[in-house]
């Protein structure tokens, strides 16, 4: 395989040239409000658009209300309902009504349940090349398929972006992925990102933007590109981005908004911090094996394992072309008797098109279970596999237990591999079969506004807040004490996910607006005793390995620990969004200066940080083990804004301090 990794570290003198000519640099420069546009520096950028979804959205809108703003400051903000669509009690419907009422009060567009998955709908209707988008969902980078700088963030950061029109971030480094060649039949965009994950791993993108360039780019459609940028979230990247070119123009035209097109590409002498070359012609159908998106092998290597369930959809692979390919493969065939095939289209527009052109009939006639346009099985909202079941999914995450079945074995594959395997009942490399693989062209979509509610004529004065009884206030921290103390309540390994910290499934998602209830389930997938231990300890400390908090943007993974009394966390490294969520909540995220110190920690040890308020601005922060007397050097590396938040006890407290001062 022609795969080269060229790493080079920039010399100090070259720092001023860093990122010059990249798409990332151009968009950031265009949106720069303040700060120095150099890798690692903190800058403030203008945010043009925001998106929220419902499982993070209730918190976002509680926070927006707490900030006491009138109208939002962005060009466009959309509130989608797509995650918590299973209404087995009043809770989810109450959350939807709450979000709808806040949207009307502040000038936010509201997308009703059934319209589809936020990222897919945003790409179709609102994404614009060169614009910035901040979303309270880690897969917001889907918009990078259209040449947007689309970044996932915690809910509070999105609420602030709506209120102030800006966002603070550290300037990321830029990785250039050069694409050459073109994909062979039965190999698709999903295999490209699975390959990149195999090379860079789930922590390979932290602090970086992944920018695609090279002649192979033009062989990929916008929805192919969006599959790649979407799953770039699994690299831990700040975002991923493609140029905007003739394919972008064609896609926008197919959505009836060619006027939103503008070309965008990197200069030929653009400076990348690291480059990776992928020859598309060399790729084979791949799969991520249980239980990590970077645990990748070829379908051929894994072999023809027996499959119980196939699930097609999610924000990664539910586009029109994806589903048309699936319909074409299923046409005239029958789903294997031992397989349950579930299909959730990405948007109402797509579903309507499939119904119009007969593709839906091919799916149904083959024996597929076609379900609502929503996240559905991807977040464990129904369709959990049977005990020990093998599920092939076109989704982006296969963390243990995420499907809702603790011992299920989830493999992540392309739509082509999923569809052909649903017929054969085994994991199948389509290239080795006689099944027909259709060539799909983009189609032209008619505008359908039936699911959208525009905030026209509604405002804070004429629209009351609608708040159901399950919606509880979010917890607020207190200003950082001089002496911070706590006992170790968890010693976690590497790559702990936010699905581990705050599990999500059909039973827990209805409590996303009720932190007191949700906190009882904190860490239950890896440690049943966590919540009880925290209650006894009162003040707790979490110790963990590298890439702590990878995955979802859910700030519940910081708010529930806050509610349980977690004061600080010491790890080998953090995932970007989770670190920001901890700071936003006033929980101090520290990193071991010496990674080997991790081995010294065990449950119940009492740790302290003396003179903590001063220590936050120091280079090294000393954590003392009161039981052994041993002191450990840790690093905070906080920006001035982060330090201010920690001292105030979180972002909301800081905002309150500054607005009342």
Binder of ligand SF4 out of 254, 396, 539, 584 (CB under 6 A): 396
Instruction: Look at residue 117 and give the partner it binds from ligand SF4, ligand MIC, none, a contact being a CB closer than 5 to 8 Å depending on partner kind.
Output: ligand SF4
Pick from ligand SF4, ligand MIC, none: which does 553 bind, CB < 5 to 8 A by kind?
A: ligand MIC
Q: By CB under 6 A, what part of segment 126-145 binds ligand MIC?
A: 137-139
Distances in whole angstroms, Cα of residue 403 to Cα of each of 55, 407, 517: 16, 9, 21
State in angstroms the smallest separation of the CB of 141 from ligand SF4.
Answer: 11
Kindly state whether residue 315 participates in binding ligand SF4, applying the rule CB under 6 A: yes
Give the number of other CB atoms < 10 A from CB of residue 8.
11
- Using rule CB under 6 A, residue 378 touches ligand SF4: yes
Structure tokens at 269: 């002498």
Quote the CA–CA distance of 242 and 24 in Å, as a whole number: 10
Per-residue x/- track, 63-102, ligand MIC (CB under 6 A): --------------------x-------------------
Residue 55 touching ligand MIC (CB under 6 A) = yes
Q: Are 381 and 86 in contact (CB under 8 A)?
A: yes
Q: Could you give the CA distance from residue 640 to residue 628 in angstroms, rounded to a whole number? A: 33
* Smallest separation, CB 113 to ligand MIC (Å): 15
239 binds ligand MIC (CB under 6 A): no
Residue 379 touching ligand SF4 (CB under 6 A): yes
Select 118 or 440, whichever has its Cβ closest to ligand MIC: 118
How many residues bind ligand MIC (CB under 6 A)? The answer is: 12
Distance CA 357, CA 378 (A): 27
Laid out side by side, the sheet with 208-213 consists of: 3-7, 274-279, 173-180, 208-213, 239-241
Q: How far is the CB of 447 from ligand SF4 (least distance, A)?
A: 24
Q: Does 322 bind ligand SF4 (CB under 6 A)?
A: no
Angle between helices 576-584 and 640-648 (to 10 degrees): 40
Could you give the string, one character per residue 74-113, with x where binding to ligand SF4 holds by CB under 6 A and - elsewhere?
---------x------------------------------
For ligand MIC, the closer of residues 151 and 241 by Cβ is 151
- Binding to ligand MIC by residue 221, rule CB under 6 A? no
Question: Of 495, 504, 605, 653, which one interacts with ligand MIC (CB under 6 A)?
Answer: 504
Residues 6 or more apart from 323 whose CB is under 8 A from it?
A: 312, 343, 345, 346, 350, 354, 359, 415
Number of residues that bind ligand SF4 (CB under 6 A): 11
The residue (of 196 and 315) whose beta carbon lies closer to ligand SF4 is 315
> 467 touches which of ligand SF4, ligand MIC, none (CB within 5 to 8 A by kind)?
none
| 124 belongs to the binding site for ligand SF4 (CB under 6 A) | no
Q: What angle do CA 558, 564, 570 make, to 5 degrees?
A: 55
Task: Compute the least distance from the CB of residue 380 to ligand SF4, in Å.
Answer: 9
**CA-CA distances (angstroms) from residue 407 to 388, 486, 523, 567?**
5, 34, 17, 33
User: Is 117 one of the binding residues for ligand SF4 (CB under 6 A)?
Assistant: yes
DSSP strands (E only) in 473-526: 484-491
Rounded CA separation 202/351 (Å): 32
Closest alpha carbon to 172 in 244, 263, 236: 236
User: How far is the C-alpha of 423 from the C-alpha of 434, rounded, in Å?
Assistant: 12
Binding mask 541-560 for ligand MIC (x = CB under 6 A): ----------xxxx------
Which of these, 255, 236, 243, lies nearest to 120 by C-alpha position? 255
List contacts with ligand MIC (CB under 6 A): 55-56, 83, 137-139, 379, 504, 551-554
């Amino acid at each position: 395989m022609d795969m080269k990794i060229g790493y080079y570290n920039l010399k100090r003198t070259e720092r001023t040239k860093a990122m010059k000519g990249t798409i990332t640099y151009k968009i950031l420069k265009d949106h720069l409000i303040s700060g120095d546009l150099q890798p690692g520096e903190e800058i403030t950028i203008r945010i043009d658009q925001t998106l929220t979804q419902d499982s993070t959205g209730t918190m976002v809108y509680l926070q927006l209300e707490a900030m006491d703003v009138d109208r939002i400051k962005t060009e466009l903000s959309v509130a989608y309902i797509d995650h918590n669509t299973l209404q087995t009690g009043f809770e989810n419907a109450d959350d939807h009504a709450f979000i709808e009422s806040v949207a009307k009060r502040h000038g936010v567009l509201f997308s009703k349940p059934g319209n589809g998955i936020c990222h897919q709908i945003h790409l179709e209707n609102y994404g614009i090349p060169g614009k910035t988008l901040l979303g309270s969902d880690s897969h917001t980078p889907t918009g990078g398929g259209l040449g947007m700088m689309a970044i996932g963030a915690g809910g509070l950061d999105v609420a602030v972006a709506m209120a102030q029109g800006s966002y603070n971030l550290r300037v990321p480094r830029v990785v250039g992925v050069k694409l050459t060649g073109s994909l062979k039949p039965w190999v698709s965009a999903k295999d490209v990102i699975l390959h990149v994950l195999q090379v860079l791993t789930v922590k390979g993108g932290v602090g970086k933007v992944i920018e695609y360039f090279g002649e192979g780019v033009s062989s990929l459609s916008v929805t192919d590109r969006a599959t790649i940028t979407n799953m770039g979230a699994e690299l831990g990247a700040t975002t991923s981005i493609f140029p905007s070119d003739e394919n972008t123009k064609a896609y926008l035209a197919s959505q009836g908004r060619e006027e939103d097109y503008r070309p965008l590409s990197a200069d030929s002498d653009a400076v990348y911090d690291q480059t990776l070359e992928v020859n598309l012609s060399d790729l084979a159908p791949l799969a991520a094996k249980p239980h990590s998106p970077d645990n990748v092998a070829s379908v051929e290597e894994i072999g023809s394992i027996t499959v119980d369930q196939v699930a097609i959809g999610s924000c990664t692979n539910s586009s029109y072309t994806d589903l048309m390919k699936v319909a074409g493969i299923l046409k005239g065939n029958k789903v294997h008797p031992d397989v349950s095939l579930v299909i959730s289209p990405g948007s109402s527009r797509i579903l309507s098109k499939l119904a119009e052109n007969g593709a839906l009939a091919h799916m149904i006639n083959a024996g597929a279970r076609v379900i609502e346009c929503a996240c559905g099985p991807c977040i464990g909202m129904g369709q959990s596999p049977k005990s020990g079941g093998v599920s092939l999914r076109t989704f982006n995450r296969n963390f243990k237990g995420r499907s809702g079945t603790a011992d299920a074995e989830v493999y992540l594959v392309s739509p082509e591999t999923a569809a052909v395997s649903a017929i054969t009942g085994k994991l199948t490399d389509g290239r080795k079969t006689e099944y027909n693989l259709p060539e799909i062209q983009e189609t032209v979509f008619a505008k359908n506004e039936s699911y959208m509610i525009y905030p026209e004529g509604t405002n804070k004065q004429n629209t009351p807040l609608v708040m159901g009884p399950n919606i509880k206030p979010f917890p607020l921290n207190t200003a950082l004490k001089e002496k911070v103390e706590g006992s170790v309540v968890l010693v976690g390994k590497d790559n702990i996910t936010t699905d581990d910290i705050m599990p999500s499934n059909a039973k827990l998602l209805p409590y996303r607006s009720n932190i007191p209830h949700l906190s009882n389930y904190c860490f239950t997938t890896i440690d049943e005793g966590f919540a009880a231990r925290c209650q006894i300890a009162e003040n707790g400390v979490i110790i963990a390995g590298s890439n702590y908090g990878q995955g979802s943007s859910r700030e519940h993974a910081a708010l529930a620990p806050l509610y349980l009394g977690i004061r600080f966390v010491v790890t080998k490294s953090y995932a970007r969004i989770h670190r920001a969520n901890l700071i936003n909540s006033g929980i101090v995220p520290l990193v071991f200066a010496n990674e080997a110190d991790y081995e010294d920690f065990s449950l119940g040890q009492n740790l302290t940080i003396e003179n903590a308020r001063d220590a936050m601005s120091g280079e090294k922060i000393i954590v003392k083990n009161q039981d052994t007397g041993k002191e450990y050097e840790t690093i905070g590396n906080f920006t001035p804004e982060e330090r201010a938040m920690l001292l105030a006890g979180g972002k909301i407290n800081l905002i309150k301090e500054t607005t009342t001062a």
